[in-house]
Structure 1
């Protein structure tokens, strides 16, 4: 039986920029919102703080859930995701981001984090690509965004 994975992603804005986890693999550079899986017996706010610190070396105050995205790898035509992955992602606002140390546990293929100008998001290999306009406008219409890339 395959299990459902729940993750939290920290949406950090600073002026006209957004904080992204930067990755490199055979596709070249690609970007995602920092975050990851919630561990057993870990609260949402604990996972938010841990993932942000591990991937960016920073801290922030967890705000409201901006939107929920569902990923089902088996329903995608092509994917770099693990086979049979079914994940619910909670995109949460991050307020007052501060860098406090060097990132401690970068994800596979992650090379760092970067403050990316919002007007460059559409030019990147960024996931979820379909949410670029919402991130740029900082307007999220509806909490559940469904199964999207």
Structure 2
């Protein structure tokens, strides 16, 4: 049996930019919203703060859940996700972002963070790509976005 993984991601805007974790692998540069798995007996707000600090070196206030994404790797045509991964991702509003240090535990292939102009988001390899328009508009019409890449 493969356990369901729950993760939290910090959606942080500054003017017309969004904070992204920048990665590099054989596809070149690609980007995701910073965040990661919630550990056993860890609250959502503690995971939010820990993941943001580990991946960006920053702190922010946790706001509302903006949307939920589900990932079932075995149903996707990709070799880049772990086999049998089933993950629920909670995308949470991050406000009052403050840079306090360097990223302490970046993810595999993560090379840094970037404040990406929202108008450039469609032009880069970004996941989840189906959420680009909603992220650009800062408008989320439904909480559960389904199983998307």
Q: TM-score, normalised by structure 2?
A: 0.99
Tell me the residue number matched to 2:72.
72
Instruction: Structure 1 unaligned segments of length 5 or more: list them.
Output: none
Question: Matches of 1:108 and 1:102 in 2, distance apart?
Answer: 16
Q: Does 1:96 align with 2:117?
A: no
1:47 aligns with 2:50: no
Count of equivalent residues: 149
Map Cα deviations across residues 69-124 of structure 1 (whole Å, 9 max, x no partner).
Answer: 00000001224100000000000000100000011000000000000000000000
Following TM superposition, the consecutive aligned residue runs of length 4 or more in structure 1 with deviations greater than 6 angstroms are none
Partner residue, 2:33: 33
Residue 140 of structure 1: aligned partner: 140
Q: Tell me by how many angstroms 1:141 deviates.
A: 1.1
Partner of residue 5, structure 2: 5
Q: List runs of 5+ in structure 2 lacking aligned partners.
A: none
Alpha carbon RMSD of aligned pairs, Å?
Answer: 0.5
Deviates more, 1:74-83 or 1:126-135: 74-83
| Structure 2 counterpart SS, 1:139 | coil
Query: In structure 2, how many angstroms separate the alpha carbons of the residues matched to 1:78 and 1:16?
Result: 31
